[in-house]
Amino acid sequence: MNLLQLTPQYHERVWGGQRLRPAQPPIGEAWLVYEGNIVTNGPFAGQTLAAVTAQHSEALLGKKAMAQTGLRFPLLIKLLDAADWLSVQVHPNDAQAIRLEGTGQIGKTEAWHVLQTEPNARLIAGVKTGTTQAQLAAAIRDGSILDWVQFHDVMAGDTIFMPAGNIHAIGPGMLIYEVQQTSDITYRVFDWNRPTTTGRKLHIEQSVAVSDPNGTGDLRHSPAMHSTDQAELMQCAYFGLDLITSQAEMLQLNTQQFSFHAITIIEGCAKITCADEKITLNRFETVIVPADAGEYALNPIQPFRALISRMSL
């Protein structure tokens, strides 16, 4: 099966910045890998990722992904440009998503990799140790949630794992890569006293129902990397995330026909070669290597760093 290069979808957000694409209103999110993205290359050009997945599910996804999400592409990958605080929010797990939103809904466990930060960048991940369910519910309902959450200083290269149920918020001055289950169910707990609009409502009772008083963000600092290297940043039941880098040498990689690889260049430029296909990837461009591809290579045109999202081993 062929490599799939996708056209990003850009989304305006009240908290967005100007790093993804200069615009007013500002762009907060670029959806790099999403069921609605259009394929730009090869025999599937012009089709959505959802349509290609439905036609070639096992070849594209691999058996493990099919076991989890059937014919749906299992991941949603974004870039987030935060010029202001995102809402304090929480996501349901799979069972809660079905109970609260209906049959066929999927929960949202996610992970962030920090690409850029301004000085004194902070985010919220989890609540303070010892918080009870009753205290957390009261804080959500009376608007005092900021007194109960954990603030974390972060820098470029940090990775944060955010299971469903963990209260969280991304702070201003950050550019973040986010990988998550193929769901965008978000319950807003607190929105920094912004005016409530149809598109930005609070979800108080849903937040009470799904928030975990024991939830704390798992923050991991950037691993030491050689000039040509691959490191696993995190792995959970739903996905794994790897960082690869090369100054000059070609990197040989292999899907082992287990899972697709969604590759996003975060610095530099590289050429991906798979069988007789070759695609040049620039910064923030993404290609999906199908599970049945097996061996492929990344050759630096410029020294590069890239993130690979995949199904868990």
Of the residues 160, 193, 220, which one is the last residue of a structural domain? 220
> What pLDDT sits at residue 83?
98
Do 234 and 175 share a structural domain?
A: no
Do 239 and 193 share a structural domain?
A: no
> What pLDDT sits at residue 64?
74
Do 162 and 125 share a structural domain?
A: yes
Residue 200: pLDDT band by 50, 70, 90 thresholds? confident
Do 206 and 162 share a structural domain?
A: yes
Residue 304: pLDDT band by 50, 70, 90 thresholds? very high
Q: Which is more confident, 208 or 223?
A: 208
Task: Report DSSP letters for the chain, one per residue.
Answer: ---EEEE-EEEEEEEEESSSS--SSPEEEEEEE-TTPEE-SGGGTTSBHHHHHHHSHHHHH-HHHHHHHTTS--EEEEEEEESSPPPEEE---HHHHHHHH-TT-----EEEEEEEE-TT-EEEEEE-TT--HHHHHHHHHHT-GGGTEEEEE--TT-EEEE-TT--EEEPSSEEEEEEEES----EEEE-TTPPPBTTB---HHHHHHH--TT-B-EEEPPPP--SEEEEEEEE-SS-EEEEEEESSS-EEEE-TTTS-EEEEEEEEEEEEEETTEEEEE-TT-EEEEPGGG-EEEEEEEEEEEEEEEE---
Q: Is the pLDDT of residue 69 over 80?
A: no
> What pLDDT sits at residue 212?
97
Do 206 and 153 share a structural domain?
A: yes
Per-residue pLDDT tens digits for 18-29: 999 999 999 999
> What pLDDT sits at residue 116?
98
For residue 246, what is the domain's CATH number? 2.60.120.10
Do 83 and 189 share a structural domain?
A: yes
Structurally, how many domains does the chain consist of?
Answer: 2
Do 244 and 187 share a structural domain?
A: no
- Positive or negative: CA dihedral 37, 43, 46, 52: negative
Q: Is the pLDDT of residue 171 over 80?
A: yes
Q: Is the pLDDT of residue 119 over 90?
A: yes
Q: Looking at residues 231-242, what average pLDDT do you find?
A: 96
Q: Is the pLDDT of residue 122 over 90?
A: yes
Of the residues 194, 220, 246, which one is the last residue of a structural domain? 220
> What pLDDT sits at residue 195?
86
Average pLDDT, the chain: 95
C-alpha closest to that of 267 among 202, 222, 310, 204: 222
Do 90 and 54 share a structural domain?
A: yes
Do 278 and 206 share a structural domain?
A: no
Of the residues 195, 220, 245, which one is the last residue of a structural domain? 220
Q: Is the pLDDT of residue 166 over 90?
A: yes
C-alpha closest to that of 267 among 301, 302, 304: 304
Least confident of 161-170, 194-203, 296-305: 194-203
Do 260 and 200 share a structural domain?
A: no
Do 186 and 43 share a structural domain?
A: yes
Residue 63: pLDDT band by 50, 70, 90 thresholds? confident
Do 304 and 177 share a structural domain?
A: no
Residue 196: pLDDT band by 50, 70, 90 thresholds? confident
Q: Is the pLDDT of residue 62 over 80?
A: yes
> What pLDDT sits at residue 70?
78
Query: In sequence order, which residues have a C-beta less than 8 Å from that of residue 259 and are 6 or more positions away?
Result: 61, 62, 64, 65, 291, 310, 311
Residue 240: pLDDT band by 50, 70, 90 thresholds? very high
Percent of the chain topping pLDDT 70:
100
> What pLDDT sits at residue 224?
87
Domain that holds residue 117: 4-220
> What pLDDT sits at residue 199?
78
C-alpha closest to that of 86 among 142, 26, 37: 26
